[in-house]
Amino acid sequence: MDNAKVIYLEISGMCNAKCPYCAQRRLRLENHFGGIMSPELFSQLIDHLLRLQIVHDNCPSTVNLYNWGEPFLNPKINDILRFLASRNLNATISSNLIAKANIHKENYPVIEGFVFSISGFDQKSYGRIHGANLSQVLENFEELYADFRLYSPKTRILIAWHRYLFNEKQYRDAFKYFDRPGITFAPTVAYLNDCVEMWDFVKGNLPRERMASVKKDISLSHMRKGIAYSKSKSKDYYCPAWDHITLDETGQLLLCCGTTRYDSKYILGNLLEMSKDEIWQRKKNHPVCKECVSSGLAQWLFDPPGFHSKPLLLRFRARSALRALIKKVPNGDKIIKGLG
Ligand code: SF4
Ligand code: SF4
C-alpha cells in the first residue's frame, strides 16, 4: 500500500445537531461531546502524512475535514484551509449548516466539495432528526451558496437528502428547491449511521426499545435485504476503508470512518508516533473486519446494491417486462397488486 485513497480528518469532534440515528447520539448519552482540533495539530498531521508519503504527488488531493463532527464549529477553520492551500491540497466539507459558515472569501476555492445534509423539508420532519430550525438552516445555506457562486463556482455542492419513512412526500419539493447550478441532489436511504449499532443490528442484538424507535423512522427491510444481498456477494470483499485514513480531533488513527474516538477498541494509535508500516498493518489486521466483511455490512456500506449493480438492474428490467405483459391479460392490474 502506498498512498491513502481517502482521508477523513476531524477538525471538530463536536456536533450541534441531535440526529437520533448517528453515533453522536451514543456518545452524547455517555456525556462525551468531543473537542476541536487546533490548526497546529492539523498542520503536524498533514505534514506527517506527506513525510510518510501517505499523501504524495497530490494524491489524494482533497482532505475531508469531518467524520462525526460539524466542521463549522471549529473557529480556526480559515487557518486550516489556508494551511491546506500552502500544501497544494484541497478540502471537502460536510455540514448541517446549523451554524453559519464564516469562511473568508480567499479560502472558498480551497473547498473542492461541499456536502449539505438535510433530513426533511418542513420543520416537523427536519426537527425530528436534526433538532434545529429549518428556516435558519436554509438561510445559512443561501448565504453560503451565494458565496460559493461568487468566489468559487467550481466547488461541487452535494445535497445529501436523507430519506426517512416520514419525509418521502417532501422529496419533490426539496429536489425542486435545490435544482440550480453547481448542485447535485443525492438522496440516500437513512440507516443507523454508527458501525457499533449496525453490528448489533446485524447480529440481532439491538435492544428491543431501540428497535421499536428505529422502525418508526427507518426502513428496516431496506437494511435487512441490502445487507443479506451484500452478504451473498462478500466472499473475498476488499473493504475500501482499509485504504482510508481516519483521524479524530486529537490525532488518533481510527480503524475506519464508521468508528468513533469513543470506541477504544478501534483506536489504533497516535498518528504522529506511527510509521507507515505500522499504520497500514494495524488497519489491515483488525479482528472486527473479518466479521464485518463476512456479515455483508462492509460491502453494503461502501458498495450498496443499486441500479449500478448489473444483476439487480437485469432483475428490475425482467420484472418490469413481466409486469407489462401481465397488465395486458384480463384482471392484470389485480394480479400485479397481488404480487406486491
Ligand atoms: S448525522 Fe451529522 S449532523 Fe447529525 S449528529 Fe451526526 S454528525 Fe451531527
Ligand atoms: S471491514 Fe468494517 S470495520 Fe473493517 S474497515 Fe471496513 S467498514 Fe471498518
Helix H, strand E, coil C: the string for 259-324 is: CCCCCHHHEEEEHHHCCHHHHHHHHHCCHHHHHHHHCCHHHHHHCCCCCCCHHHHHHHHHHHHHHH
pLDDT, average across residues 312-322: 55
Cα–Cα distance, 60 to 337 (Å, whole number): 50
Q: Is the pLDDT of residue 157 over 80?
A: yes
Phi, psi of 113 (to 5 degrees): -135, 145
Q: Is the pLDDT of residue 307 over 50?
A: no
Q: Is the pLDDT of residue 313 over 60?
A: no
Beta partners for 299? none
Find the residues whose C-beta lies inside 6 A of ligand 2. 239, 241-242, 255-256, 258, 288-289, 292-293, 298, 301
pLDDT, average across residues 204-209: 96
Q: What is the pLDDT confidence band of residue 304, given thresholds at 50, 70 and 90?
A: confident
pLDDT, average across residues 253-267: 96
pLDDT score for 326 = 72
pLDDT, average across residues 126-148: 98
pLDDT, average across residues 18-27: 97
**Contacts of 330 by beta carbon, 8 Å cutoff, 6+ apart:** none
Cα–Cα distance, 298 to 40 (Å, whole number): 34
Q: Is the pLDDT of residue 25 over 70?
A: yes
Q: Is the pLDDT of residue 22 over 90?
A: yes
pLDDT score for 285 = 85
Q: Is the pLDDT of residue 314 over 80?
A: no
- Closest-lying ligand to the alpha carbon of 202? 2
Q: What is the pLDDT confidence band of residue 334, given thresholds at 50, 70 and 90?
A: low
Find the residues whose C-beta lies inside 6 A of ligand 1. 15, 17, 19, 22, 24, 68, 70, 96, 117, 193
Cα–Cα distance, 180 to 187 (Å, whole number): 16
Mean pLDDT, all residues of the chain = 93
Which of 8, 10, 14, 15 best tests ligand 1's pocket when mutated (most atoms within 8 Å of CB)? 15
CA 21 / ligand 2 centre spacing (Å): 19
Burial class for 331, CB neighbours closer than 10 Å (0-12, 13-18, 19+): exposed
pLDDT score for 312 = 45
* pTM summary value: 0.89
pLDDT score for 336 = 59
Q: What is the pLDDT confidence band of residue 311, given thresholds at 50, 70 and 90?
A: very low
